[in-house]
Every structure is written in structure tokens, then in C-alpha cells.
Amino acid sequence: MRPQSLLIRDIHTLVPMDEGHTVLHGASLYIEGGEIRQVVASGARLPKAHRSISGRYAIAIPGLVNTHHHLYQTLTRAYGPAADAELFDWLRALYPVWARLDEEAVEAAALVGMAELMLSGCTTTSDHHYVFPRAHPGLLDVEIEAAGRIGIRFHPTRGSMSVGRRKGALPPDAVVESEGRILADCERAITKFHDPRPGSMLRIALAPCSPLSVSPRLMRDTATLARRHGVRLHTHLAETRAEEDYCIERFGKRPLDLLEDVGWLANDTWLAHGIYFRRSEIARLGSAGVGIAHCPTSNMRLGSGCAPVPAFRRAGCPVGLGVDGSASNDSSHMLAEARQALLLQRLVHGARAFGVRDALRMATIEGARCLGRDDIGTLEPGKRADIAMFDLRGLGYSGAGDPVSALLLCAPATAETLIIDGCIVVENGELRTLSVDRLVTRHKRAAANLVVSDL
């Protein structure tokens, strides 16, 4: 499906997201073997290519990078009993439903989340899957297979929970695994799926759900295992005040001190949320090079709080964006998430403290850094051809002056064209790799089964 070479001609506005803040008009991109080979200036001679498409009415940006998600949760969006809950009550309401996940449900859920992401301009997504009911241990494999089919660049994380209700934590015991089993399956997933090569379409990371739903020993052993294999580490941290109180009560220390004790304060770690850190803690995170997945919609939806994004960035942390959810968002729209980040950070810190370009950087190059990638996130020669294009002729952009600002200030649009690793996976605003109508029918059935059996 990937043309040997591809030319995107005469792009109305090309935003490479390079360090020089370049914006080009009328330029073309030449791609070969899935890699960007040339950015051709307007008016210069164009190379010949096997396939050529016009960019005359488009703004082209690097494909968006989603650094935190729970794809399975698309099955429980807008779940009534959790609609107005804060994090811990939200989890209490949803865990019993999620405990019934099976392969069919997870496959449909993953495809729905990925389809939504792709149609919103996202070319690389992470996923944090930590619910493994006993009878269904292969759920990670199912979503990896789904990513291959739909054609998205994928960073699945093998999540885990080992402390359940019996030991005073929130997850039902039916979805808690033994630590020996968790580590064995983490190693299996790395050996079977992880591809460390440049241009990789799939990299595994290891991701205990949070330091509060596993033991400190599992956190430590997970880090040792990850470092033995050169894979990254991910977890939720400092999402709510209640979590901070629980951490102090149970371990006698603040969440960041716990993280440091178990050997995770390092540049191979990226954390979801990071709302409740003190100033001195932000400095420690910055010197260690820990990445942050900022999830503004989820944080607002659950009333959790606002992450101090400008302070993280000043401290030196790469800060990416995560749609999180999808039961706390309840969508997987990456461009909308970048807009939410812009609006939330401006609400708290003022418009001058957080620009349109800051939000775009987080959604692209900084997200790529969180995932440990230097081969995506910008549109420059040598980078993989992950490109999102939006049609500037749309109703929502009518009257817009600056196309780059329009992307984030106007209503979030659907991508007109999406290219992943040189493959055209969205064309004329439609997914080419699967039928969305059939998928929605299947997904609705799976969602109804999961929730109805709860009654």
C-alpha cells in the first residue's frame, strides 16, 4: 500500500515544527521508502514520484503524537453512573464493568480509538493497558494486531495491577495479577513485539497502573526489566489530591519520593498527569529528564486540577499531550486535545505564557520525545513521513487569517489526508484501512454487552 515514492505538491502552508519556527508556503515534500527526503521550496524543480497528491488547499503539520490513552475505555464513554464522579469514585464505578473485558471487546475498542485518533491527525499513539481479567491474558496482543491492521504507529505499554480490594486498594481482585505473572508477560511482550530500530512502527513500554496499585517491589523489578531490554517506563502520578493523601498515608511519603525510591526518576520515564508536584519536585523531574503526558480534557472532566505545564517545560521536562480516557475525555481527538491544552494553560497562566506554537510543539515534537523518538515529530529530511493535512477550505476555517493559529483557535477539524510512514491512510477525510460503519456496529454491540451484563 505504500508507494515507493510520494510527492505532496504545492502545500498551501507547511509547518515543519523545526527549531527555526519555519512556515513555508507553496513548498512540496518528497518522500521515499516512508522517509522524508526533500523539502522542495516553492517554484523549484520537483522530483518525479510514483504517486503525487496536491497540497494546494492544505496546512500540513507533523502527525500528532498521543502520549497517554486507555483504548479499551471507548467502550464505556459517558457511562451514566460515573458521569459526574471524581477520580476514585469514577474508578469504583467502572472497574467492575472493565473486569468483563474480552478479546472481541478490546479489539473493537482499540480500532475505534485508533480510528478517531487518525481522523484527528494523530499518527503515533501510546496505549496504557492494565486490565487483564484472568480468562483473557492476551488483550495486549489483540490491540497490537489491531494497530497493525489500521496502520498507526503504536507504543503500547504493558500495564499492571497487583494490589486489589483485599489489600485495601481500588481494583477488584479479579483483575489483579500476581507479580511473577506480570513480569513474565512483560518480558514476553518485549521479546515478541518490541522493535527498537529507527522508523519502528511498534515499541513496547512497561507501565504499572500507578505506584498505588502495585507494590514498590514490582515498580523496582519493572524498572530493572525495562532497562535490561532498553524499553521505556510509564505510569500515572500526581493526578489528584486524594492520591497524594493516600500515598502519604500508605507509604509515609509523597508520590515523587516514592517514584524516586523505586528507581524511576530518570529520562526513560514519562508520567501521565503530573498535577500535584511542588516547585522543588518539578526541578527534580526536570533535571532527571522525566517526560510528562499532559491530559487537559481528562483533568477537567474529572475535576482533578491543572498541570503546571510552563514550569515543567522551563525545568527541562519534555511535555507531550494525552487524550487519556476514553471514559474520562470522552473522545480521542488529538487536535481537540491540543486546543484544550492551549485554553486550559491560558486560563491559569495567561495568554502570553502559552502560545499556539507551544501547544503544537507538545502535540508533535515534545510528544515524540516523551516516547523516546527522534525520528518523528518534525517534517524534515531524514524523518519518517508522518504527516497530517487539514483542508483550509472548510466551513470552520472560513475567514481565518493565519492558518497555523486557525488549527488550534478554530473548531478542531478532521484530517483531510493522513500519511503514516509514507502510507496514505486517510484520504478525502476517510479512513482507507477499514470501514468505519462496520466498526461502529461491532463496537456498539461490544459496549452494550459489557454494560448490560452489569445490570
Least CB distance to Zn ion at residue 236 (A): 5
Pick the closer one to Zn ion by CB: 146 or 272. 272
Least CB distance to Zn ion at residue 127 (A): 10
Least CB distance to Zn ion at residue 187 (A): 24
Residues 312-331 that bind Zn ion (CB under 5 A): 324
The binding track of 267-306 with respect to Zn ion, each residue x by CB under 5 A or -, is: -----x----------------------------------
Least CB distance to Zn ion at residue 243 (A): 12
Q: How is residue 202 written as a grid cell?
A: 511498534
Pick the closer one to Zn ion by CB: 12 or 129. 129
d(CA 417, CA 228): 39
Pick the closer one to Zn ion by CB: 91 or 388. 91
The binding track of 171-190 with respect to Zn ion, each residue x by CB under 5 A or -, is: --------------------
Pick the closer one to Zn ion by CB: 154 or 390. 154
d(CA 172, CA 161): 10
Pick the closer one to Zn ion by CB: 6 or 323. 323
Least CB distance to Zn ion at residue 270 (A): 12
**438 contacts: CB under 8 Å, gap ≥ 6:** none
CB 141 within 8 A of CB 409: no
Least CB distance to Zn ion at residue 70 (A): 6
d(CA 348, CA 447): 37
Residues 324-383 that bind Zn ion (CB under 5 A): 324
Pick the closer one to Zn ion by CB: 71 or 272. 272
Pick the closer one to Zn ion by CB: 306 or 436. 306
The binding track of 413-432 with respect to Zn ion, each residue x by CB under 5 A or -, is: --------------------
Q: Which of 213, 193, 191 is nearest to 202 (CA)?
A: 193
Least CB distance to Zn ion at residue 66 (A): 12
Report which secondary-structure segment, H or E, holds 286. helix 279-288
Q: What is the dihedral of CA 164, 168, 172, 177, to 10 degrees?
A: 10
Q: What is the dihedral of CA 269, 270, 276, 278, to 10 degrees?
A: 50
CB 109 within 8 A of CB 443: yes
Residue sitting closest to Zn ion (CB): 324
Reported in sequence order, the residue ranges of 357-439 that DSSP labels E, i.e. its strands, are: 387-391, 417-420, 423-427, 430-431
DSSP lists the bridge partners of residue 319 as: 292
Q: How many residues bind Zn ion (CB under 5 A)?
A: 2
CB 108 within 8 A of CB 442: yes
d(CA 36, CA 27): 13
d(CA 112, CA 109): 5
Pick the closer one to Zn ion by CB: 91 or 272. 272
Least CB distance to Zn ion at residue 248 (A): 21
Which residues of this protein are in contact with Zn ion, per CB under 5 A?
272, 324
